[in-house]
Structure 1
Amino acid sequence: MMPFRVITYFFSCLVCLLCLPAWGQTLHFLVFTDTDDPDIGGATLKTHTYLVNDLAPAIAKQAGLALNLSNHFGGHCRVNELDETISQLKAGPDDVIFFYFVGHGWNSRLNDYPSLIFGNANTDRTSLETASRNLLDIYQQLRARNARLTIAIGEACNKERSDEPPLTSGRAVEIMKNTTYNPQRFQRLFRNYRGGFVMSSSKRGQFSHSDPKGGWMSVSWQNAVRQQMADGQTGPATWDKLLKDVVQQTESLARANGDPQNPQIKNDLIDCPTCQKAPPTPTGPPVAPPNGPCPPVNSYVNETALAGIREDLPLLQEMYENIDSKNANAYAAQFLHFYENQKPFYDNLGDVIFYKASQLPEHCRPEFERSSKWVQESTEEITDRYDSVQKYALKPLQLAAQARSELPSLIERLKEILKKLDK
């Protein structure tokens, strides 16, 4: 028979082992940075260095996670490497995925989040579409890998592709103080939370600024992490506090330089260390019960697409009211610039104006198609009228006459779409 003292010692050791944290989880840290871009490469390199040499190792060490670093910069910041990285990513049910992109971006009007350009930022529009991936789509793909916590951050412009931000350097050099991190604060953020969040450095229609010292949001991240996760901080660490701090510091930098920049966040986080993994928050239209009533057509409307139409109407209206033979050259150049950027949007307007109705029950589909048929007809007419004006872009006098003929009906169709589909 085993002596009582040995039995007591055995159970004491077992209890100690059960009390230890389960240090088996992995931090999958995915970095994509456009460090060889001639305009922002220097600033991006500073952010890249921080992410790879400071932030990723700090999270892994302090939270007790094994680090799986996937590092893509310069010539390796390419869309094929992103697609391959995501497709091959194998995450455990208690792992953490942290994606961070720094580079150029633009808004495709599919949603409020930027499309990130993986290299070739100055290429033509067709290649640009191929070289881009939408940040919200990336987040949803990463959530589908079924990790416990998924984070996707994009530091990129969120305006039309034709708008290039200036580099600015109107702020003092940031002197980062040495910080003694508190492991418990990291563990609370990266072990107690489930779900995830996606964050872009600017709202739709805004630039994301950088200067020779780094991207404004990345510098704000550095400061916020050093402040919020340091020894001596009182109160529990929370993602709400940290993200709010990042947003406020970024906005403060923007105000100091006279350039609006407001980071935006879609938050699916749950602070619950013992509950089940949070399911991805659905985006898009409501799902009707298999045999229930069908949602109305405008339940499937892409509000960002409608916002894009609203933004274009003043330009079209002003052009129609003022174009004549005297200013035809200027308006022809303006229209060419506008339509080169928005042609993919209007060519596909019939599709992008609605969310994909893949989850639409079959008994709802005939009614949806019947009720939305007029939209398809209107968008086809809009495309035809745009093309009718565009073909004279290099013949300004003929363009002026064609614009006076086509724009009234084109504008009317766009207004009709807004009136009928706006919720």
Structure 2
Amino acid sequence: MMKQLVFLLAVLLCSPAWANKTFYGIIMADVEDPGIGMACEHDVQKMNREFKKFAEHNNAILSIETFTGKHFSEKKLLHYLEKLNPAEDDVVFFYYSGHGQYEEGLGKVLSINGVFLPLKTIEKILDEMPAGLKFIVTDCCSQRIPMGIAMQPNTNALENADGEFNARGVLIRQKNYQRLLDYEGMLVVESSQPGQFSYAFDKGGIFTEFFLKTIHDQVEIGEASWKNILDETRRKVENFVGENLEKNQIPVSDDTNLYQKVHAGHKPGIPAGKMYEPVKN
């Protein structure tokens, strides 16, 4: 009996602070688009796997809502977001793969079946949610795509960029996945700067590939942080697109409202650190 009590106490002490809370993963992708649909479908599969890893390593309940096919609608997305009522310790992660551009007076917009949904609208809705940590990640162009221009397919140099983890200790990986959710506030990440295209190959968006690959690399070694992940992702995307496609694609993010959580021995309200220059319209 005593051994059972000791074991139970050990389990409780080792559990993350927000155990049994919910990780809300929201995926929206234009999988039926004739030009980029295949890439978007692969992005959906990859993000589903990644959300499962975040939930598993943080002992969290996982809730995934996917908006594809006949559900690829700004009205359905907004209806879901407006009704979502996460708890204070929950995490909400919104991911978009599809077409996008910048419009005067609106800033960055997601192009959903010909309807423009301003990214600021999603930011405002998530910002008003009680969830302690929110992510918005978009893999789409930041420039209007002229007729005849599509995202770049068949980039063989990206084979296995989203590969599985190498054989490292489970505890290191779990601790780092927990560390990546040990923040509060909101992080907004875009795959390209205003006026740039976001490129893809037949197995997904180039940004999404390197974003996930960098997360996988970071959680295997040292102490993972969003600053390191996004700095490295930006470097890889910029170099790869420049060297292989001779184009410009530089991811940007706004972490102004992202903070590390307060723990014993730490000063309150420590900013997460400037990652990239915030997008300015």
Settle same-fold status: TM greater than 0.5.
Answer: yes
Q: Which residue identity does 1:56 align to in structure 2?
A: F
Q: Quick one: percent identity of the two aligned structures?
A: 24
The equivalent residue for 1:183 is 174
Q: TM-score normalised to the size of structure 1? A: 0.56
Tell whether the 8 Å contact from 1:64 to 1:187 is kept in structure 2 after alignment. no
Matched, 1:259 2:259: no
Map of 2:260 onto structure 1: 271
The letter of the residue matching 2:246 is G
Task: Evaluate the alpha carbon distance shift between residue 224 and residue 251 of structure 1 in structure 2; reply closer, same or farther with a 3 A threshold.
Answer: same
1:415 paired residue number: none
Specify the SS of the correspondent of 2:157.
coil
User: What's the CA shift for 1:170?
Assistant: 4.2
> CA 1:42 to 1:20, structure 2 compared with 1: closer, same or farther past 3 Å?
closer
Q: 1:13 to 1:73 in 2, by over 3 A?
A: closer
Match of 1:349 in 2: none
- Tell me the distance in 1 between the aligned counterparts of 2:198 and 2:151: 10
User: 1:185 is aligned with what amino acid?
Assistant: N
Relative contact order, higher structure (CA 8 A, sep 6+): 2
Deviation digits for residues 185-241 of structure 1 (CA, Å, limit 9, x no counterpart): 000111x211121111111111111121311101111211221112xx12x211101
Counterpart CA distance in 2 for 1:12 and 1:171 is 50
Distance in 1 of aligned mates of 2:20 and 2:5: 23
Q: Is the 8 A contact 2:123 2:136 kept in 1?
A: yes
* 3-state secondary structure, aligned to 1:269: strand
* Distance in 2 (alpha carbons) for counterparts of 1:11 and 1:223: 39
Output the amino acid matched with 1:135: L
Query: 1:418 is matched with which residue?
Result: none
Question: What root-mean-square deviation, in Å, do the aligned CA atoms of Structure 1 and Structure 2 show?
Answer: 2.7
Contact 2:260 2:269 in 1 (8 A): no
Query: Do the aligned residues in 2 keep the contact of 1:200 with 1:265 (CA within 8 Å)?
Result: yes
Question: Do residues 81 (structure 1) and 76 (structure 2) align?
Answer: yes
* Alpha-carbon separation, structure 1, partners of 2:104 and 2:232: 28
Contact 1:135 1:152 (C-alpha < 8 Å) held by counterparts:
no
User: By percentage of residues, which structure has more strand?
Assistant: 2
**1:249 alignment partner, SS class:** helix
One-letter code of the match for 1:193? Y
CA-to-aligned-CA distance 1:154-196 (integer Å, 9 cap, x gap) = 1111113646643323442412443156100000111x21112
Letter in 2 for 1:265: S
Once the two structures are superposed, what CA deviation does each residue of 1:13-43 show, in whole Å capped at 9, x if it has no partner? 7687456434121100000000000010011
Aligned AA for 2:80?
Answer: T
Q: Distance in 2 between matches of 1:13 and 1:171?
A: 50
- Matched residue, 1:45: 41
2:62 corresponds to 1:67: yes
3-state SS in 1 of match to 2:85: coil
Alignment partner of 1:116 out of 110, 114, 119:
110
Per the alignment, do residues 11 and 173 of structure 1 end up closer, same or farther by CA in structure 2, a change over 3 Å counting?
A: closer
Alpha-carbon separation, structure 2, partners of 1:247 and 1:159: 18
Q: 1:16 to 1:223 in 2, by over 3 A?
A: closer
Q: TM-score, normalising length from structure 2?
A: 0.83
Where does residue 141 of structure 1 map in the other structure?
A: 125
State yes or no: 1:219 paired with 2:209: yes
Matched, 1:33 2:29: yes
1:186-201 residue pairs with structure 2 within 5 A? 186-190=177-181, 192-201=182-191
User: Match of 2:103, SS?
Assistant: coil
Q: What's the secondary structure of 1:237's corresponding residue?
A: coil
Whether the 8 Å CA contact 1:139–1:151 is kept in 2: the answer is no
Counterpart among 227, 230, 245 of residue 240 in structure 1: 227
Unaligned runs of 5+ in 1: 1-5, 121-127, 279-302, 305-423
* Deviation by residue 1:261-303 (Cα, 9 ceiling, x = unmatched): 111101121112445899xxxxxxxxxxxxxxxxxxxxxxxx7
Structure 2: runs of 5+ lacking an equivalent: 272-279
1:106 and 1:100 map into 2 onto residues whose CA distance is 16
Worse overlay, 162-171 or 27-36: 162-171
| Structure 1 residue 10 displacement after superposition | 7.7
1:320-339 aligned at under 5 Å gives the runs: none
Pick from 135, 141, 150: which aligns with 1:157? 141
Q: Hey, what's the Cα distance between the residues in 2 that align with 1:93 and 1:41? A: 35
Q: Tell me which of 102, 106, 128 is aligned to 1:107.
A: 102
